[in-house]
Chain A
C-alpha cells in the first residue's frame, strides 16, 4: 500500500520562504510529484522527482530523499497568488496511477 503525509495547513507572509514537507511510504517507488491547486480549480503540475536531490524551477524547488521517504517543496519570494493547496503524490506500485496526499493549504498574507 501507500501512505503519504503532509501538514494540513501553513501560513506565511509575502516575500518569505516556506517549505512544505511530505513523507511517503510506498511498496515500490516510481517518482514523487507536487501539484498546486487553487480553490475551485483543478490541480496543476509543479514538479517531479525520481532521483535524490533538488530540482529547481524558478521560485519553486522540490527535494527528494528516497532513503528517508521524504520530499519537500520550497517556495521562495512568496506572492499572494501562491495561496493554494499543495498536493504531494506518488505513483502506485504498478506505476499506472498517482496516489495523492491530503494536501497542504498555504495561506500567504501581506
Chain B
C-alpha cells in the first residue's frame, strides 16, 4: 500500500535554479493538494486540484506552478528558487466522500541557498 509518494525527500538548490517535486497517489483520489510548512506558520496551502486537468491556487501560490495531467500525479514546480522557499513540502490527497480525511506524503525538505 504505497498511498501518497513524494520525491525527493531532501533537496538543496541554489537561488535561481528550478526543480520539480513529484507526488503520486495510488488510491484513485480526485483531490490533491500541496502544502508548505514553516516553523510557527503551520501548513499553508500552495495549490490544489479537484481532478485531472483542473488546478487552483491556495493561500501562497506565488513562485509555484502545478499541473494535473493524470489522476495519479500532481507535480509542484519551482521555476526560479528563492531562499524564502526553503521549507518542508507536503503533498496530500483525499477521495470523494464527506469525511475529508487527507492522506499525506512523507514530506520533502527543500533548502534554497
Contact = CB atoms under 8 A, between A and B. Distances in A.
Interface of A: 8, 30-31, 33, 35, 41-45, 48, 50, 87, 89, 91-92, 96-103
Contacts of A91: 100
A101 B48 CA distance: 17
Contacts of A99: 45, 59
A102 B43 CA distance: 7
Chain A contact residues: over half helix, strand or loop, or mixed?
Answer: loop
A34 to B, nearest CB: 11
Contacts of B31: 96-97
Given A42-B90, A96-B48, A31 B43 contact: no
A98 B102 contact: yes
Contacts of B98: 31, 50
A33 B41 CA distance: 18
A30 to B, nearest CB: 8
A96 to B, nearest CB: 5
Interface of B: 31, 33, 35, 40-45, 48, 50, 56, 58-59, 90, 98-102, 104-107
B16 to A, nearest CB: 29
B85 to A, nearest CB: 19
B43 A43 contact: yes
Contacts of B99: 48
Given A33-B100, A45-B102, A97 B45 contact: yes
Nearest to B4: A42
A44 B43 CA distance: 13
Contact of B107 (A42, A87, A89, A97): A42
Contacts of B90: 42-43
A43 B88 CA distance: 12
Contacts of A103: 42-43
Contacts of A35: 102
Contacts of A43: 43, 90, 102, 104
Contacts of B33: 97-98
